[in-house]
Amino acid sequence: MSARLKAGPSKPARTDVLIGVFALVMVAALMVSIPAMARVVRGTEVLARNVSAPQAERANVATAQAVAALPAAADPDLCASTGTVTMPDGTVVEIWGFSLDGGDGCDASDEPDLPGPVIEATVGDMVTINLTNVDVPENVSIVIPGTELAPDTGGVPALPDPGATRSYTFTATDPGTYLYETGVDDQRGVLMGLYGALIVRPATAGQAYDTAASAYDQEEILVLSELDPNFNNDPGSFDLVDYAPTYWLINGEAYPDTDPIAVASGERLLLRFLNAGSLHHTMALLGASQRVIARDAYPVSNPYDLVSETIASGQTTDAITVPCGSDSSQVPLYNANLRLTNGGLSSSPHEPGGMQTVIELSAGSCPTAGNIAPTVDAGPNQTITPTSLPATIVLDGTVNDDFVTPVTATWTRDSGPGTATFANAGDVDTTVELTQAGTNVFRLTVDDGVNAPVSDTVTITLTAPVLLYFSTEGNVNVGGLGDPNDADIYAWHGGSSYSRIFDADLNGVLGPADVDALVVVDDNTIYLSFLSDTTLSGTLAVADEDVVLFDAGNWSVVFDGSDVGLTTNAEDVDAFEVLGAGAIVVSTDGNPDVGLPGNEQDEDLLRCIGAFGPTTSCTWSYYMDGSDVGLTAAGEDVDGAAVNGGAVSLTTQNGFSVTGASGNDEDVFVCASLTPGTTTSCPGGWVVFFDGSASEITDDLDAIDRP
């Protein structure tokens, strides 16, 4: 199939100079005259290259034209078909490619573009790509690495097969530059030309990403690839070991047919590089630098400046350059791997050729040294729950500048509770210590001494850490929260700050039920045991020796105590900890008897390892012998326990006195490194972790857990 031509102004004759093999001379050749009628993709225009047909006179080849813009979240109808491209030396090469349906359904009139049309969307858009395989002799699919679109390695066959059309739908979740391509077989289809660009734009116009550092005035999409005519003219039987490209392309064309990039001097030009080829390509500027801001649609944390950058096969790279010069001057953009030739040595033109073009400058405002204003990004907003207060928070800013004049950076806090102490307010990347939970707004201000200072803000929301979960023996008003209920569960955030995380009345726990043991996974996932037999949500009957799971409003039994020997009134579970999927530790209200040697006591923790659920079976062993660690008095019955690694936290039915700590029934004391087993020890002694009376709690804590 021959590719169609689109009418356009003819390219005037060139005055190219014969070029040798030396890179400097090759690049110098780029400085010669290049016509100014070149196409530049801007704003919401969509790039779609047309494939040129053979011409007797190369000077009369029509220029590529931009197709009509696709609105954001449009549903492009892509046609996959066969065609040809003509290289500058007249070599005709077979290709497969994508094109947009002309409006009457994909058929033989829809000839391929190289690369395929650009698809554009805005973050949050739902995108549907409808693909039809017109006549490509192998299955064709759409894959877009970096998006949520699931890979399709099966693809669709060619018409008239009834399965020749398939739709691909995904949500554009993140801004950036993406490569779409066929994902079938051994990637012969990609080498043949089945690829294109997807551009996902952020909500803020004029930015490539959500950061101020990605702002630009103009953009250019540059799809890099290569051709080996021997492969393209026989893709089915060609041995890829012999693949040896001889044509190096930018947007499907080789120099001198590549289009110049027109931009005003001093404007920020965003170069969106997409390497659809099989080889790495290093792209360089002569007379300007480029700042890399993203790779594979991920913004780099610290953008960096360079002259040349290597774009790996399949990779995308976004870079911003600010070329400066007089009106009609040029900045060469070229392949620094010296892939600057066309075909073999006998081809004409052989050199200069390949993967190169120029940035053509028009009159503009070229900044002078030291006058380029810096840009600043204070980093992403964050919500953080620390393990304790005060908390140290990382501030990760980014400053971009020419640094010709010294730049100072200063962090300040615009608003927030408590005090904020910076480790070094003059460092772009620093830390700050916050004493209270709440919302903080921090400002990073940058001053280069020449331009007006610039600043950016970041919001850090610090939620109060949870230090302890508990329930009380009686109906007491905890922390002034009101509506007291001894089946409610509270979180302690330090000092006298509390919150209610489980409201019994709202979750099917009706009086007189009293929670007397608990383990909190999160606010919607809680294990509980009750002081007496009760019915949950009016349907689930549970005994005081059972453990139940509350899972987002649903109740189930996970430990049936009567199945494993807890059958007497003294054997009510009044403390437990879930050690893992197959183990639980319990303590009981009175002295239990589960068949262990010695006398099991109400101050002991017994470990049950087995299978859990409505039907429970397990093997019992000692986890903690309370008398070994000083719990010997009558009132030192353990009625709350939490195990965190090697640390064990306890509360007791009445007051306690152990090595290193003493207190009342509203207190929690901790052994940081318990040696468990039949013989138990606490080598470092005990410490009081929670002093209830000092934190305005005077009622007995009869259930505890620690995060």
One of 2.60.40.420, 3.40.50.300, 1.20.1440.230, 3.30.70.2190 is the CATH number of 23-362, namely: 2.60.40.420
3-state helix, strand, coil split of the chain in percent (to 5) is 5, 40, 50
Contacts of 492-501 spanning 24+ positions with Cβ under 8 A: 492/466, 492/467, 492/468, 492/690, 492/695, 493/389, 493/437, 493/464, 493/465, 493/466, 493/467, 494/388, 494/389, 494/464, 494/465, 494/467, 495/695, 496/695, 496/696, 497/464, 499/464, 501/469
- pLDDT value at position 369? 54
Nearest of 359, 353, 221 to residue 284 by alpha carbon: 359
CB 177 within 8 A of CB 222: no
Strands of 330-428 (E only): list them.
Answer: 330-335, 356-362, 375-377, 382-384, 391-396, 398-400, 408-415, 420-422
Tokens of residue 429, six digits: 């990347």
Site of tokens 């993203």: 294
Q: How many residues does the chain have?
A: 707
Q: d(Cα 588, Cα 573) in Å, to the nearest integer? A: 4
Q: Select from 252, 222, 249 the least CA-distant residue to 359.
A: 222
Classify 539 as helix, strand or coil: coil
Q: Give residue 42's pLDDT.
A: 24
SS3 state at 541 = strand
Residue 662 has a CB neighbour count (10 Å cut-off) of 14
Match 């016509």 to its residue by tokens: 35
pTM of the model: 0.52
- Indicate the domain borders of the chain: 23-362, 384-462, 468-705
Q: Tell me, which fold does domain 384-462 have in CATH? A: Immunoglobulin-like (2.60.40)
- In CATH terms, is domain 468-705 a member of 2.110.10? yes
Residue-level pLDDT at 367: 63
CB atoms within 10 A of CB 323: 26
Q: Report how far residue 565's alpha carbon sits from residue 205's, in angstroms, rounded to the nearest whole number.
A: 69
Q: What whole-number distance in Å separates Cα of residue 201 and Cα of residue 179?
A: 14
SS3 call for 318: strand
Instruction: Tell me the residue type at 50.
Output: N
- Could you check whether 23-362 and 468-705 share the same CATH topology? no
The low-confidence residues of the chain, meaning pLDDT below 70, are: 1-74, 186, 367-371, 402-404
Measure the CA–CA gap between 693 and 29, rounded to whole angstroms: 85
pLDDT at 158: 85
Contact 224, 311 (CB under 8 A): yes
Rounded to a whole number, what is the distance in angstroms from the first to the last CA of the chain?
Answer: 68
